[in-house]
Structure 1
Amino acid sequence: MSKVDWQDYNPKGFYDELIAAPGKPRPEAAMLCEYLASLDARELAEHKTAAEVAIQLMGITFTVYTEGNMIDRAWPFDIVPRIIPLPEWQRTEAGLKQRVQALNLFIDDLYHEQKIVKDGVFPAEVLAQSANFRPQCVGIHTPHNVWAHICGSDLVRDKDGTLYVLEDNLRVPSGVSYMLENRNVTKRVLPDLFATGRIQPVDDYTSQLYEMLSSMSPRPGDDPVIVILTPGIYNSAYYEHSYLAQQMGVQLVEGSDLVVGDDDCVYMRLVDGLCRVDVIYRRVDDMFLDPEVFNPDSMLGVRGLMRAWRKGNVALANAPGAGVADDKVVYAFVPQIIKYYLDQEPLLPNVPSYLCMFDQDRDYVLANLDKLVVKPANESGGYGMLIGPHASKKERQKFAELIKANPRNYMAQPTLSLSTSPTLCDGAMEPRHVDLRPFILSGETPWVTTGGLTRVALTKGSLVVNSSQGGGSKDTWIVDLSGN
């Protein structure tokens, strides 16, 4: 049976994460590539099967909504990890901390003095039309002045090797449980490669998350009562909610399990009575959090929760209103936001962006729809986008009308040549496009996961990495070659 021959592996002009040139692995990937080349097709298939069995046994699933049905599927996973050398990761980590620090200062400013608007750095009309600015949050002070306690920023690498921030997810970012489970599966499948000690660990995330949440408690000195608020079993990220609750040893609750008392404190209903709650890691969208303030028909939230939060009797992560910075038009201003609040140049670049609200940008976008990716300001999960080069003339015409009707709601970017990584497809090693979602925790100080969730477009030639649209994932290795 044939073995992997890296001479035959051809990423076709794209930057490849593991292979620098035919037959030449990058230094940080040499150990892995040598190991994979030593396996024949049968052994590779056995490794793939072992991963699939582990995923089934561990119950790692995600939910797909299709044609009105909800389907639980096994997590799609590729056994070939994506590798990043430690020095590059350290630079990336510093850039992520800088970015989230500036974004938290920005959010806090918008809900207080709005200096950045008054100083003309951030356009008033962008704020005025923000779908995620919550007037109900104006004047509220959060612990450590942090609003986005958990952020997932998506990174992509272009063909010249530059790592760009594609977007920031500041509302209820998901995927970290899959990052942790990917490592658990990989350790089962490729145990010998972890013996060198060069692959940096990722398993401290849940303890860091617990510490960060604890630091927000309105009752310092006591053991805080922390809960994770989930919309319930039908939510696509329910696996993650239950996983994180189990790993941290905290209660997983739904809105009906909580009540706000006459003292404006939040209590959890237990068999033997009520127990006061200090910190809520909420995985429920703003608009469903409190029927007293937001959607009056919501069955997912807790009546009076915003009252308790405003009075400082409970901490919420992420804070309601943090999504004001989770807007693809706001994204385009992040370099100016970093400069304004920190007086620093961005360590991580944005993808060049065109804002349709500006006449010159809009004219360029409309004239070049066949070359650009157009995104609505507040969609997520890869929905509502136009990928110009792959779109039909009719689809481009439809987007032209949408842009003209609501220019503020659209921005465009060049189609990036996303980097590839070797992926096991039908028994052969083939390049597939990848991105990376690291997670940044912000409490008293920021903390970044070692690597993140690498998502992979499993369909040949596809740039869509979202699991809801046919993507999968890989383990991400940060490798230290210094010998320390």
Structure 2
Amino acid sequence: MKMLTQHTKLVNEWLERYGVKFGIYKNDKFIEQLFPFDAIPRIIEADKFALLEKGLIQRVCALNLFLKDIYSNRCILRDKIIPEEFVYSSKGFFAECCGITPPKGIYSHVAGIDLVEAKDGWYVLEDNLRIPSGASYPMIAREITRSISPETFEKNKVCENRNYASILSKMLEEVNCGGINVVMTPGRYNSAFFEHSYLAEKMGAVLAFPGDLQVQNGVVYYNKFNGGKQRVGAIYHRVSDEYIDPIAFQQDSVIGVPHLMEAYKKGNVALVNAPGNGIADDKGIYYFVPAMISYYLGEDPILKNAPTYLPFFKEDEKYVLENLEKLVIKDVSESGGYGVVFGSELSKEERNNLRNIIIDNPRRFIAQEVIDFLDLMVLEGEEAVPRKADLRAFVIHGKDVSVWKSGLTRFSRNPNSFVVNSSQGGGFKDTWIISQ
């Protein structure tokens, strides 16, 4: 490992040369920047990962059953496990998806579950079931570090992580409705465009831009450069649900495919992930996942939620308003580290303003206790320093449900911050799962 850490600068130079960047819009301008790599890996021993794996599979299975239920029989609402108005008021709930059963009954094909590790175990912070990104970064970092320091991996029993594309490809084939596999990207100026193109290349799938796809008689086709066309059987879409079909959803979308939902509804194409998954992404719905596990699976949750309060409930609202200074407040409609407020960092006036906003719109927020999660060591020049870090684990649901033996470990470069997102200036490191 010592040899590897000596090459941190070189690895980042290679990443920049390969265009491994992410884009953000700042002051109405699109800015691309490097996602800084740290060569000290996060190491998870085999026995610890086995428990984590079991908990992640349990959680994703319950969430998939929830999505199936919420767009069909809605038993969980009738049995009052989750309040009806809480679901129907969510921006992630799409009534247009009701009654549609995706191929093989799978809604959450690719889940990105964000966790932190504390002294007493792992805590889930968020469930990302729409278009979770980030797998490409540890993939290409491992590829580069293996080339630069092969002896590091000869001396350490690290599980292979370059198989992610083959896992994805296998899953797409299992749900494919007859035709080629496509990665659908909104285009060059999407923040995760590098990942779209990288995964398409590694999977041997077609990278399709707006206008490359069309629907004829309820069937999706890819328009080839030579004027011909190929039938599409599965689309790994990296376009937000509301923009994928201007006929069904956002009418002014120029990055969608007209009548795509018609083809999907007829069972002629698989959409990965299924449209409508945003209801399970809702930070408020996160509160109910332990209850879902019990309701659908009859099991106790293996992984813990962070202690969470919903101002939607009067008792929780009272607690939140009385304890703003020690809680983390999250806007349920935001992502990427945006809309996260630490009460301890607010002035008295700012807390009072936030208190009034919560009172006016309690459904908009959740509040969580601050988890003092473990630091990981990060290189700053020649010195190793502790920084807060999380883990995005990737769970793939095809014929079977599996957890990728790797993950995206993100860390804060600010010694006083708990926010690790790339859009907030964080970096990333490789995640080593040690084999038996």
Give TM class, smaller chain: over 0.9
1:266 aligned to 2:227? no
Structure 1 partner of 2:44: 84
Matches for 1:247-258 after TM superposition, within 5 Å: 247-258=202-213
* Kept in 1: contact 2:219–2:269 (CA 8 A): yes
Matches for 1:265-414 after TM superposition, within 5 Å: 265-270=219-224, 271-414=226-369
Structure 2 partner of 1:175: 134
Query: How many angstroms does 1:189 deviate by?
Result: 4.4
Task: Give, in whole Å, the separation in 2 of the partners of 1:91 and 1:400.
Answer: 39
* Kept in 1: contact 2:11–2:141 (CA 8 A): no
Structure 1 partner of 2:183: 228
Structure 1 partner of 2:176: 217
* Kept in 2: contact 1:179–1:452 (CA 8 A): yes
What secondary structure, in the 3-state scheme, does the structure 2 residue paired with 1:87 have? helix
Structure 1 partner of 2:32: 72
Larger Rg computed on CA atoms: 1
Structure 1 partner of 2:101: 141
Q: CA deviation digits over 1:126-162, x for unaligned, max 9?
A: 112111111111111112211111100001012x241
Task: Give, in whole Å, the separation in 1 of the partners of 2:406 and 2:351.
Answer: 36
- Of 105, 124, 146, the match for 1:187: 146
Task: Give, in whole Å, the separation in 2 of the partners of 1:200 and 1:276.
Answer: 36
Structure 1 partner of 2:10: 50
1:110 aligned to 2:110? no
Task: Give, in whole Å, the separation in 2 of the partners of 1:127 and 1:48.
Answer: 46
Task: Give, in whole Å, the separation in 2 of the partners of 1:201 and 1:454.
Answer: 16
Task: Give, in whole Å, the separation in 1 of the partners of 2:424 and 2:210.
Answer: 29
| Residues 1:189 and 1:412: Cα distance change in structure 2 (over 3 Å) | farther
Structure 1 partner of 2:58: 98
Query: How many angstroms does 1:394 deviate by?
Result: 3.3
* Kept in 2: contact 1:374–1:387 (CA 8 A): yes
Query: How many angstroms does 1:384 deviate by?
Result: 1.1
1:474 aligned to 2:429? yes
Task: Give, in whole Å, the separation in 1 of the partners of 2:126 and 2:60.
Answer: 12
* Kept in 1: contact 2:220–2:231 (CA 8 A): yes
Q: For structure 2, list consecutive stretches of 5 or more residues without a partner in the other structure.
A: none
Normalization by structure 1: what TM-score? Answer: 0.87
Q: CA deviation digits over 1:22-73, x for unaligned, max 9?
A: xxxxxxxxxx4xx47xxxxxx96x5222112221232211112211111111
Structure 2 partner of 1:7: none
Quote the sequence identity (%).
43
Task: Give, in whole Å, the separation in 2 of the partners of 1:199 and 1:214.
Answer: 28
* Kept in 2: contact 1:386–1:399 (CA 8 A): no
Which residue identity is paired with 1:153?
I
Structure 2 partner of 1:29: none
Task: Give, in whole Å, the separation in 2 of the partners of 1:80 and 1:189.
Answer: 14
* Kept in 1: contact 2:35–2:426 (CA 8 A): no
What secondary structure, in the 3-state scheme, does the structure 2 residue paired with 1:131 have? coil
- Of 382, 402, 413, the match for 1:458: 413
- Of 110, 113, 116, the match for 1:156: 116
- Which moved further from structure 2: 391-400 or 73-82? 391-400
Q: CA deviation digits over 1:224-279, x for unaligned, max 9?
A: 30111111001000010000011111111122111111x21011111232211111
What secondary structure, in the 3-state scheme, does the structure 2 residue paired with 1:247 have? helix
Q: CA deviation digits over 1:311-362, x for unaligned, max 9?
A: 1111100110011111111101001100010001111111110011011111
* Kept in 2: contact 1:186–1:475 (CA 8 A): no
Query: How many angstroms does 1:395 deviate by?
Result: 2.9
Q: For structure 1, list consecutive stretches of 5 or more residues without a partner in the other structure.
A: 1-31, 37-42
Normalization by structure 2: what TM-score? Answer: 0.97
- Of 105, 108, 126, the match for 2:86: 126
Task: Give, in whole Å, the separation in 2 of the partners of 1:185 and 1:80.
Answer: 14
Which residue identity is paired with 2:42?
R
Structure 2 partner of 1:204: 163
CA RMSD across the alignment: 1.4
* Kept in 1: contact 2:22–2:191 (CA 8 A): yes
* Kept in 1: contact 2:187–2:210 (CA 8 A): no
Aligned residues: 435
Which residue identity is paired with 1:121?
I
* Kept in 2: contact 1:154–1:165 (CA 8 A): yes
